[in-house]
Amino acid sequence: MTHFLRDILRQPKELQRTIEFLLGSGAGALEAAKKVLPYYEAYFNQPYPLPKLDQIFVPGESDSMENWGAIKDEEQYLVDPSNDSWEDQSNAFQSLVHEIAHQWFGNLVTMAWWDNLWLNESFATWMQKKATDHFHPEWKIWIKALAEKESAMDQDAVPASRSIQVRRHHCGPFNPACCWSDIGLLRSF
């Protein structure tokens, strides 16, 4: 990243284009957060307790992570609604609102230990789908979720699959099938 910035700073026109891209793309993420925070506050009847929520997009990062008051996300989720496909916009929106949901499921309400990580992820994923459907019904997210659930159920059906609750002595790899197996259950309530 340091070499990238040094090279960009040597080329003023390229720097200007980079800044314009980041400002335009960042606007989509900012707008999503401005919409979903009040939606979650109303849904949970619990205000977001911090004075701000930072969004940090990291070049070359391959995962997203909620932190108390800060969302770290992949640079690829900086999308421009006027140029990027609806699928890219949907993926970016869902990633962001999933991590924001963790401000409630994972930060305000925290599991006692990593054994119940599936519950934390299931609730955040369920709220991600719920918020996406609320703000973008045209994306038909629940139909796409059915295919994702079927894939998880297929993974879960093999004899080598792991149980939902796993005794952990440390934070280890997460089984996404656990999350998708329970979204249908959560949605039925």
Which CATH number does the domain housing residue 18 bear?
1.10.390.10
Q: Please write the tens of the pLDDT for every residue from 152-176.
A: 778 778 888 777 666 766 555 555 5
Confidence of residue 63 (pLDDT cuts 50, 70, 90): confident
Both 99 and 123 in one domain: the answer is no
Domain boundary among 75, 95, 110: 110
Domain boundary among 66, 81, 110: 110
Both 99 and 29 in one domain: the answer is yes
Surface-to-core class of residue 110, CB atoms within 10 Å of its CB (0-12 exposed, 13-18 middle, 19+ buried): exposed
- Residue range(s) defining the domain that contains residue 186: 111-189
Both 103 and 121 in one domain: the answer is no
Asked whether residue 186 carries a pLDDT value surpassing 70, the answer given is: no
Looking at residue 181, its pLDDT comes to 46
Surface-to-core class of residue 73, CB atoms within 10 Å of its CB (0-12 exposed, 13-18 middle, 19+ buried): buried
Dihedral sign from CA coordinates of 45, 113, 56, 77: negative
Both 131 and 172 in one domain: the answer is yes
Q: Please write the tens of the pLDDT for every residue from 83-102.
A: 889 999 999 999 999 999 99
Both 124 and 180 in one domain: the answer is yes
Q: Please write the tens of the pLDDT for every residue from 28-57.
A: 888 899 999 999 999 999 999 999 999 888
Domains identified in the chain, total number: 2
Both 70 and 89 in one domain: the answer is yes
Both 97 and 120 in one domain: the answer is no
Both 103 and 10 in one domain: the answer is yes
Both 145 and 77 in one domain: the answer is no
Both 33 and 4 in one domain: the answer is yes
Both 14 and 93 in one domain: the answer is yes
- The rounded distance, in Å, linking the Cα atoms of 148 and 151 is 5
The residues carrying an active-site annotation are: 99
Both 89 and 167 in one domain: the answer is no
